[in-house]
Structure 1
Amino acid sequence: MKNTARAGRRTVTPIQLAILTLCAGFNAAAHAQSAEPSAPAAQANDSGKIAEVIVTATKRSTSLQKTPIAITALNAQTLEDNHVQTLLDVVNLVPGFQATGQGDHGVTTMTLRGIGNDSAKTEYADPEVATFVDGIYSPRPEGATALLFDLDAIEVLRGPQGTLWGRNSTVGAVNMQTAKPVLGSKSGSVEAGLGDYRRYGARGAFNIPLGETAALRIAAVHEQHDGYVDYQAFNVPSLADQRAAWKASGGADAAFQPINPNLFVRTGPKYSAQDQTAVRLSYLWQPSSQLRWNIAYERFTDRGTPSMNLMQSPRPGQDFWSALIDTAPTLKRDSDSVRSRLEYQLNPDMQLTYIAGWSKFDGSSTFDQDAGADLPTSFSTGGNHQENNTVYSHYTNYSHEVELQSLGNREIDWQLGVYYGAEDNGIRFDIPIMNGTQQGTVGWQGSFIQPKETVKSSAAFGQATWNLANNLHLTGGARYTHDKRTNEGGNGYTWNYDASVPQVPVNPNIDPTRPGQGYNPNVPSNTGEFIGHKWTGLLRLGYDIDRSNMVYASLSTGYKSGGLQDGGRPYFDETLTNYEVGSKSSFMGGKLLVNNAIFYEKFRGFQFSSPITNADGTRGLATENADGAKIYGLESEITARITPSDRLMLALTFTPHAKLGKLTGGSNDYTLPPCPATNGATTCLDVTGHSMPHTPKFMAQLQYQHVFRLGEGTTLAPRISAHYETESTLSVFDLGAEDRQKAYGRADVGLRYTRDKWWLDLFVRNVSDEKIKTSAFNPGPHAIWLAQYQPPRTIGFNTGIDF
């Protein structure tokens, strides 16, 4: 595979310098006290059964096999074996889970059990799959949710989690558990790795005891690789051909300009590059067995580049992983987060917990939306230049939650809680669209400015399990949520085609709110207020057949608040009712685990968001409530220790029905027919009964590992992870083969060598170099199909030491 190089000399950031210093300290301390044995070593000493997995899905620490919820729990070793760095890497490990990378914001959106929202990239739209870090809601996927590092586990909860986890967990929740400090332990780990596309990475963690009652954990990571997308050269038409094309369009000779070839990018950082760094400081104070306080500060920076749109059918003579680029990629994301959890045991039967979180984010980006699909024939004909530029994006959010719960095994196990969370968002998003090239005339352009958009959410909840007998458990719960959303001063500013104003692309140096700049504000503005409230609940019956087998049946609901869209118009709540029966079984003395779930989901008010052109020529993001959707299917997870040296995991998902209710949707990302009505989008399509996007009828994930024991403390462990899924649509419009991902299979392989505390891991991801689409669209005058793709085949190694 071709190895791309990045021109210029890298500047070492302060965080990267801190990581290098930290890693140097780790190397110096590499002969310190030992930590827990590595996974292969631990397996050699156990009885051959699968180790018990503890989860926090019920906001208690319970055994996975005793928890009557459909959960996939990925421990630290599984994450490391599968080279998991982002949420996109988790997709192949969880039944019914899909995630896509959206280029213009560099944000990951998620789909679970057929429900998701590809527009949940900014404050405009919320996700249906909620993400949490240490139980604290993360409204935007940044920090630990963007670059996964130093985690104890990731828990993916499938089905509505509205009672305990709250709003926006409509179809599920992803909870990431960071590694916590340990009292009295002086231990750590350090690793580094290289790969193709000039990939290199470094990670480290160090646990420092601070007396008998406190400990500090320092964790840091840096991951980087060059972009996958090469720059194409543009064969500029001859001056005579340019002039002829210009005159054919009705242009005057005096206004003719030759195409400037310097407008097309050939050097510098490429699209789809990674350059992310994070540091986390975690502090534990435990003065007594009754009081425990964990607090952590995390800093995350991203200086990579957005993922690029590619032509599904490349032009003759051009590589697939290449594009004709006239907008250089930039991506700047910085976030700071503080997370705190204070637990106080009031007495042997009761515990009080206070959970608080705060985060701040700043970001900007530039993105070539047109991807060079249309070639310009003159400076203002033939081509279609479009940028999607986030001039700034700021948000601050904080949350407080107080929980009171019973301890131990009682006739009634209960918990109560209150919650308050708030967000303050601001964004400016520019879209210049020029005819031909940046030199050309304005096709359309606008600037969307939301200086202040707020969310305030408060809730009270309770859940109790009545242990009717030792083997029969009835659980009920309810949550009341009140939401208030405001937009203060937000509006879109559209080019007014004033002949006296120079036709240049909108950019940060232009203030479109000032008169005389060539822009008119949209009428009405986005200013407004939305207030909503909702009850969600849970009813579940669990029955333990014996110590190794249990079954359950549940009825649960989830909720996502309505809000305001462009023009100040409201959209309304969406709710999901989920009917589910499941089983969890252990066979062969704990060497084989089989977990199953059958679900039926009934969706009401599904929020469909998309960029549209209004009848008056203005543009904006519109959100419509579909009548609903109906989805049903089966999930199965099988884990087996075939021998003490062989481990197999199999995840299966069968979703025979995932259909959208009544909806007529519009979108500028697709070439659609004109709308019959004039009060909405100019183009639209009736998608009633269409399949929900990103929902193949069948998915299977197989992981297998064998451990060869080469001597005392020395092992060699080859592994394979294979994924298969049937065809799925990529949008609600389902516009044919280009708007679908065909059935495919892909495999990742690895080989891990361990000797005492040192290890070396080799890996190849996407071995057969499959081209797997995550999204598709065909905008522009010639409706050329573009798509975003999972990464191509990558090869590399990591090596590290635990001490």
Structure 2
Amino acid sequence: MPVFAQDTTDEKSTWALEEIIVTATKRETNLMETPVAISAFSQSELDRQGITNVKDIANLVPNLDIAYDQDQSSPVIAMRGVRSTNTSELGDPSVGLHMDGVYSPRPQGAMALMFDVERVEALRGPQGTLFGRNSTVGTINVISKRPVIDELEGSLGIEIGRWNQRQIKGMINIPVSDTFALRASAMKETRDSYLNGYYDANQWDRRRLPAEAQNAPLLTGEPQTLTQRANSWTAPRELVAADPETFYNNSDQYAYRLSGLWEPSDTLSWMLTYEKYQDSSAGGINTIDCDKADQRLSENADGDMVPGLLGCEYIYGPGADEYTVAVNTPGKLDLSIDSVRSNLRWDFSDTLSFIYNAGYASQQRSALMDIDAGVTDWDMALNFIDTDYVSQSHEFQLQSMTDGPLQWIAGIFYFKEQNGMEGYFNAAMNDSTFWDQPDRTLESIAYFGQGTYDLSEKLHLTLGYRWSKDTKQDKGGHNKSCLRDYSLGPDDEGYPGCYPAWVSDAPGYEDDPNGYFNSYSADHFDDPSIYTDTTNNDTKGSWASATYRFGFDYDLSDEVMLYSYLANGFKSGGIGDVVVEYEQDPTTAEYPLDADGNRIVKTTHASDYDPEEVVTFEIGAKGDFYDGKLNLSGTFFLSSYKDMQLAAPESVYNVYAVQMNPNEEHYGEVETNGFVVYRTKNAAKSEIKGVEFEFDWAPYRNGHVSGFATWLKTEITSDFVTRFDYAASDLFEMDYGPAHDNENPDLYRNLKGNELAAAPEFSVTVNYDHTFNIKNGAKVIPFIGIHWEDESYLTYWNVDKHEFPVGSTGAYDDTRAAFHVVNVSVKYLSADESWNLEAFGYNVTDESIPYWAGGSDGVVRGSRSMPANYGVRLNYSF
């Protein structure tokens, strides 16, 4: 909102834009005088756009894209075409996230609710000198409001929206004494699922389904869904509509924050904050891109390959769309984050200040999700029994405080994280893989300094340097597995304890052949003792780096500043699971033993990866014009990446397993199978260049328009030969085994020349609001915001740029069509500004936008935007 100047005789100066103060250089500076590409947003701007967490700010920041990985309950933040899709405990994000200046290591922290916020700052370009870890392409800093020493104030807000949404938030600031104040704030939100959700008892595993789904009526007509047809030999049942209050993609979360500020003197300030976030929803689930799925070719009854037999209606029945899903595993998410942050500042002399920022965070998560959701009849589920991430960070700073020609900052940073995880992936018709990672640690230490020197009254030089070292280690970690073996019974030697034998003469077999499986308890596979160790993940890696910043800024006039810099960035390498391949007889599926009775090791595959490095040159300009009514900023950047870290599913090697074939009357066939992991690899080189233009304009009294326009070009510039794993069987028209054979040369393509994911060439955002004054002093403020993005890719494979045996790749490509989003609202603000009532609509044109795609079924499934949402909110403050 524009802020109007009061006492002036110059008509041109009767209104002006608000001056925005940021901390991009770790000291307070005017946004338009800070030589960094940065966007900043206040709480009122976030509220107006319906933004409650970092995940939702993508459309407000140039060249920012934020997807969501349902499997890890984690956002995937991309900036200027760079992102990290490894959101597990092994991965590091490419965009650093800070809360009140304290580093937040896990990307799940971006899901924490944002409320009672002073501002959100999004810095673009390498920020490694001052912000350190994982800031190769940018940093996001969420700054909460500090307690106010001398003022009692409070607020209460209520929001009601579509899908039975209910949101409430409040704040109270209490001045306890002349030197101490407390501030408490909280927020809670619930919302039903917006999916057309069903429970499906025709899928293999029915153990967790509610009783009404397990006992659903028998199907009286012809089978209409994939699972009804695939399991027609088990007396198929009707689908049962799920309760949207507890189904996937609902919302059930709360957070609260308690801060204390002590200022015993003008030179000493200490703020201590405790924050709690809890998400108890059903979690998210991937849905189908119906247009792409309809293009897939499948064999009809006459043996012809025709499209349309793998689309949404083929899978889920007539009327199904991209928001339809049928599951046999109800979703569950229990994500809890407890944080303590301390900010101490002591101006111990007229020229020096000491700052100590410390943080402690504990993130605990358990999650259960349906992976295939009835898209196949293999029936896959993912269960994180428990993940526990505990971290601490400490940063000591020494800053200059003089008005002289040199301003500088120096500091030491220390960070440590300890992770533990238990979980498993279960393919009910085949096998189960268990992860037991009790002790994965990360330790980082860094020394940094940066200074700006006035070479003249208008020309300023900035130099920065940081040395850092990261060490990652895994102790006692194991992958465990159990393959179904139908040739063995419970009394046979070597019988696996996690799966029962196939007992063809068991009671009720003819009516329900998989009934024995469902006799197990829901937590049967939670027990690690029923599995066999397949890997020993003990490994360790260390990486050291030096990052720098060299820049100039020049005051062209009192209104215009020019700046340029050269900076590099570094993201440490990583450790991965140690995968061991044993010698095996492919005809018998037996493993020869050595003289000591151990399996003979054929190859050891360590999925470690190297550091990622970038060098960026940027030149930009910022200016305010027409007596502060127009702010303009623009920048051109060129980034050169070496060993960019890219993650995707990959078959590590071939194993041989005894599998069942449900379409035959006998079992025990030996078929080739692939061992697939989510693996990070280093692309050789890539280049990114672009232009970002931002504007903020009050063209006339009570009018306000803002936004940005961008151009972005990304390219993998050197050979990067890799094997496709998205729908490989279909793309290459091969059986499953050859399509996952690392030694098959037909599977490989050179991705040189490909574009990076989440990098549209053009994007535009325009926001406009106008304030209408009413005679009683109240105001009515309508708002409209429009965001448009050009076509882009969802992965770095760029399927449409390569040739495959299959006649058409349209069903498997990873393109995302151009899209637009329109948000609108109208607010009534009381004369004394103590309360306001606002009606809103988000995505009012009901665009369905894919944000994430991947998996062994190709890019047909992924997370999508929420349909059109609307509601009202009421806020009161005192």
Identity of aligned residues (%): 29
Q: Contact 2:789–2:819 at 8 Å: present in 1 too?
A: yes
In the alignment, the residues of structure 2 paired with residue 114 and residue 193 of structure 1 have an alpha-carbon distance, to the nearest angstrom, of: 35
Q: Contact 1:43–1:645 at 8 Å: present in 2 too?
A: no
What is the aligned partner in structure 1 of residue 525 from structure 2? 510
- The Cα offsets for residues 678-733 of structure 1, whole Å up to 9 and x where unpaired, read as 37999664323211011000000000000000134300000000001110000112
Q: Of 176, 183, 191, which residue of structure 2 is paired with 1:225?
A: 191
Indicate how the Cα distance of structure 1 residues 208 and 611 shifts in structure 2: closer, same or farther if over 3 A, else same. same
| Greater Cα offset, 411-420 or 676-685 | 676-685
Indicate how the Cα distance of structure 1 residues 684 and 130 shifts in structure 2: closer, same or farther if over 3 A, else same. farther
Secondary structure (helix, strand or coil) at the match of 2:45 reads helix
What is the aligned partner in structure 2 of residue 743 from structure 1? 818
Q: RMSD of the TM alignment (CA)?
A: 2.7
1:522 aligns with 2:524: no
Normalising by structure 2, report the TM-score.
0.80
- The Cα offsets for residues 542-583 of structure 1, whole Å up to 9 and x where unpaired, read as 100111001011001111111211115421100111110000
Secondary structure (helix, strand or coil) at the match of 1:318 reads coil
In the alignment, the residues of structure 1 paired with residue 334 and residue 235 of structure 2 have an alpha-carbon distance, to the nearest angstrom, of: 30
Secondary structure (helix, strand or coil) at the match of 1:85 reads coil
Q: Once the 2 structures are TM-superposed, how far is the Cα of residue 391 of structure 1 from its aligned partner?
A: 1.4
1:775 aligns with 2:878: no
What is the aligned partner in structure 2 of residue 76 from structure 1? 43
What is the aligned partner in structure 2 of residue 20 from structure 1? none
Indicate how the Cα distance of structure 1 residues 657 and 349 shifts in structure 2: closer, same or farther if over 3 A, else same. same
Q: Once the 2 structures are TM-superposed, how far is the Cα of residue 777 of structure 1 from its aligned partner?
A: 3.2
Q: Once the 2 structures are TM-superposed, how far is the Cα of residue 621 of structure 1 from its aligned partner?
A: 2.7
Q: Give, as a single letter, the amino acid of the residue that structure 2 aligns with 1:800.
A: N
What is the aligned partner in structure 1 of residue 484 from structure 2? 497
Indicate how the Cα distance of structure 1 residues 265 and 367 shifts in structure 2: closer, same or farther if over 3 A, else same. farther
- The Cα offsets for residues 278-305 of structure 1, whole Å up to 9 and x where unpaired, read as 0100000000001000110001100122
**Map of 1:339-350 to 2, 5 A cutoff?**
339-350=341-352
- The Cα offsets for residues 586-609 of structure 1, whole Å up to 9 and x where unpaired, read as 111110111001000111111112
What is the aligned partner in structure 2 of residue 426 from structure 1? 420
Secondary structure (helix, strand or coil) at the match of 2:348 reads strand
Q: Give, as a single letter, the amino acid of the residue that structure 2 aligns with 1:465.
A: T
1:604 aligns with 2:642: yes
What is the aligned partner in structure 2 of residue 30 from structure 1? none
Q: Of 257, 280, 292, which residue of structure 1 is paired with 2:269?
A: 292
Give the length in aligned residue pairs.
Answer: 735
What is the aligned partner in structure 1 of residue 358 from structure 2? 356
Q: Once the 2 structures are TM-superposed, how far is the Cα of residue 534 of structure 1 from its aligned partner?
A: 0.3
Indicate how the Cα distance of structure 1 residues 320 and 716 shifts in structure 2: closer, same or farther if over 3 A, else same. same
In the alignment, the residues of structure 1 paired with residue 427 and residue 343 of structure 2 have an alpha-carbon distance, to the nearest angstrom, of: 48
Q: Once the 2 structures are TM-superposed, how far is the Cα of residue 670 of structure 1 from its aligned partner?
A: 4.3
**Map of 1:549-588 to 2, 5 A cutoff?**
549-567=560-578, 568-588=606-626
- The Cα offsets for residues 321-361 of structure 1, whole Å up to 9 and x where unpaired, read as 21111110111101110000110001111100011000101
1:790 aligns with 2:847: no
In the alignment, the residues of structure 2 paired with residue 421 and residue 667 of structure 1 have an alpha-carbon distance, to the nearest angstrom, of: 37
Secondary structure (helix, strand or coil) at the match of 1:425 reads strand
1:50 aligns with 2:62: no
**Map of 1:133-212 to 2, 5 A cutoff?**
133-142=99-108, 146-212=112-178
What is the aligned partner in structure 2 of residue 24 from structure 1? none
Q: Of 328, 331, 334, which residue of structure 1 is paired with 2:330?
A: 328
Q: Contact 1:660–1:691 at 8 Å: present in 2 too?
A: no
What is the aligned partner in structure 2 of residue 466 from structure 1? 453
1:802 aligns with 2:877: yes
Q: Once the 2 structures are TM-superposed, how far is the Cα of residue 80 of structure 1 from its aligned partner?
A: 1.7
Q: Contact 2:713–2:761 at 8 Å: present in 1 too?
A: yes
What is the aligned partner in structure 2 of residue 591 from structure 1? 629
What is the aligned partner in structure 2 of residue 629 from structure 1? 686
In the alignment, the residues of structure 2 paired with residue 114 and residue 152 of structure 1 have an alpha-carbon distance, to the nearest angstrom, of: 28
Normalising by structure 1, report the TM-score.
0.87
Secondary structure (helix, strand or coil) at the match of 2:32 reads helix
| Greater Cα offset, 735-744 or 279-288 | 735-744
In the alignment, the residues of structure 2 paired with residue 784 and residue 695 of structure 1 have an alpha-carbon distance, to the nearest angstrom, of: 17
Q: Of 462, 481, 488, which residue of structure 1 is paired with 2:468?
A: 481
In the alignment, the residues of structure 2 paired with residue 331 and residue 512 of structure 1 have an alpha-carbon distance, to the nearest angstrom, of: 20
- The Cα offsets for residues 443-496 of structure 1, whole Å up to 9 and x where unpaired, read as x43112211100000000000111111111000010000111000111211223
Q: Once the 2 structures are TM-superposed, how far is the Cα of residue 266 of structure 1 from its aligned partner?
A: 3.2
Q: Contact 2:4–2:15 at 8 Å: present in 1 too?
A: no
1:266 aligns with 2:242: yes
Secondary structure (helix, strand or coil) at the match of 1:320 reads coil
1:387 aligns with 2:381: yes
Q: Once the 2 structures are TM-superposed, how far is the Cα of residue 150 of structure 1 from its aligned partner?
A: 1.1
In the alignment, the residues of structure 2 paired with residue 613 and residue 475 of structure 1 have an alpha-carbon distance, to the nearest angstrom, of: 47
What is the aligned partner in structure 1 of residue 763 from structure 2? 699
Q: Give, as a single letter, the amino acid of the residue that structure 2 aligns with 1:722.
A: I
Q: Once the 2 structures are TM-superposed, how far is the Cα of residue 234 of structure 1 from its aligned partner?
A: 5.6
Q: Give, as a single letter, the amino acid of the residue that structure 2 aligns with 1:559.
A: F
Q: Give, as a single letter, the amino acid of the residue that structure 1 aligns with 2:413.
A: Y
Secondary structure (helix, strand or coil) at the match of 1:469 reads coil
Q: Give, as a single letter, the amino acid of the residue that structure 2 aligns with 1:604.
A: K
Secondary structure (helix, strand or coil) at the match of 1:384 reads coil
| Greater Cα offset, 358-367 or 568-577 | 568-577
Indicate how the Cα distance of structure 1 residues 319 and 44 shifts in structure 2: closer, same or farther if over 3 A, else same. farther
What is the aligned partner in structure 1 of residue 79 from structure 2? 112
- The higher radius of gyration belongs to 2
- The Cα offsets for residues 153-185 of structure 1, whole Å up to 9 and x where unpaired, read as 000000010100002011000001001101111
Q: Give, as a single letter, the amino acid of the residue that structure 2 aligns with 1:81.
A: R
In the alignment, the residues of structure 1 paired with residue 272 and residue 875 of structure 2 have an alpha-carbon distance, to the nearest angstrom, of: 27
Q: Of 701, 709, 715, which residue of structure 2 is paired with 1:644?
A: 701
1:533 aligns with 2:544: yes
Q: Give, as a single letter, the amino acid of the residue that structure 2 aligns with 1:697.
A: E
What is the aligned partner in structure 2 of residue 102 from structure 1? 69
Q: Of 283, 301, 315, which residue of structure 2 is paired with 1:306?
A: 283
Indicate how the Cα distance of structure 1 residues 801 and 689 shifts in structure 2: closer, same or farther if over 3 A, else same. same
| Greater Cα offset, 59-68 or 104-113 | 104-113
- The Cα offsets for residues 499-522 of structure 1, whole Å up to 9 and x where unpaired, read as 3343459974336643xx3x4322
In the alignment, the residues of structure 2 paired with residue 687 and residue 495 of structure 1 have an alpha-carbon distance, to the nearest angstrom, of: 36
Q: Contact 2:415–2:443 at 8 Å: present in 1 too?
A: yes
Q: Give, as a single letter, the amino acid of the residue that structure 1 aligns with 2:148.
A: V
- The Cα offsets for residues 181-210 of structure 1, whole Å up to 9 and x where unpaired, read as 011110111100101100010011111001
Q: Contact 2:765–2:785 at 8 Å: present in 1 too?
A: yes
In the alignment, the residues of structure 2 paired with residue 273 and residue 148 of structure 1 have an alpha-carbon distance, to the nearest angstrom, of: 18
| Greater Cα offset, 232-241 or 496-505 | 232-241
In the alignment, the residues of structure 1 paired with residue 627 and residue 793 of structure 2 have an alpha-carbon distance, to the nearest angstrom, of: 42
Q: Once the 2 structures are TM-superposed, how far is the Cα of residue 629 of structure 1 from its aligned partner?
A: 1.2
Q: Contact 1:452–1:487 at 8 Å: present in 2 too?
A: yes
Q: Once the 2 structures are TM-superposed, how far is the Cα of residue 802 of structure 1 from its aligned partner?
A: 1.3
What is the aligned partner in structure 1 of residue 444 from structure 2? 457
Secondary structure (helix, strand or coil) at the match of 2:764 reads strand
Q: Contact 1:191–1:204 at 8 Å: present in 2 too?
A: yes
1:415 aligns with 2:409: yes
What is the aligned partner in structure 2 of residue 544 from structure 1? 555
In the alignment, the residues of structure 2 paired with residue 258 and residue 663 of structure 1 have an alpha-carbon distance, to the nearest angstrom, of: 48
Q: Contact 1:231–1:322 at 8 Å: present in 2 too?
A: yes
Structure 2: gaps spanning 5 or more residues: 8-12, 203-217, 291-311, 490-495, 501-516, 579-605, 656-674, 733-737, 801-809
What is the aligned partner in structure 2 of residue 654 from structure 1? 711
Q: Contact 2:199–2:239 at 8 Å: present in 1 too?
A: no
Secondary structure (helix, strand or coil) at the match of 2:443 reads strand
- The Cα offsets for residues 657-694 of structure 1, whole Å up to 9 and x where unpaired, read as 44464333457554365679737999664323211011
In the alignment, the residues of structure 2 paired with residue 571 and residue 681 of structure 1 have an alpha-carbon distance, to the nearest angstrom, of: 23
Q: Once the 2 structures are TM-superposed, how far is the Cα of residue 429 of structure 1 from its aligned partner?
A: 2.9
**Map of 1:120-131 to 2, 5 A cutoff?**
121-131=87-97
Q: Once the 2 structures are TM-superposed, how far is the Cα of residue 372 of structure 1 from its aligned partner?
A: 1.7
